[in-house]
Amino acid sequence: MSSVAPGPNISETEVTNVSLHGLWVIVDDEELFLPYDDFPWFKKASIEAVLNLERPQPHHLYWPDLDVDLSIDSIRNPERFPLQAKRLLKKQ
């Protein structure tokens, strides 16, 4: 029996909305909300940089213009992943 190589990944991953409170991303069939309170890197970023989204691995998203790499689990459960950026912002 011979195996067939898997085809290209056609799963949808894109930023679908940007608001004053955060941004929404579609990952496969799931819509995720990234509030600026938990993901401050996006708040003052250009729309072009926010929309430039890559998915280098099934469970990671990457914004190359912002050098932001996030696991999908950290988006779903930000309370489990203390953010260094939040600590830095509080000190200022």
Q: Where are the domains of the chain?
A: 13-91
The confidence band for 91, taking pLDDT boundaries of 50, 70 and 90, is low
Q: What's the average model confidence in pLDDT over 10-19?
A: 86
Q: Choose which CATH entry (3.30.2020, 1.10.3470, 3.30.70, 2.30.29) describes domain 13-91.
A: 3.30.2020
Per-residue pLDDT reduced to its tens digit, 15-72? 999 999 999 999 999 999 999 999 999 999 999 999 999 999 999 999 999 999 999 9
Place of tokens 């069939």: 29
What's the pTM? 0.77
- 69, burial (CB in 10 Å: exposed 0-12, middle 13-18, buried 19+): middle
> What pLDDT score was predicted for residue 84?
56
- Residue 14's region, left for phi above 0, alpha for psi from -120 to 50, else beta, is beta
Residue 5, pLDDT above cutoff 60: no
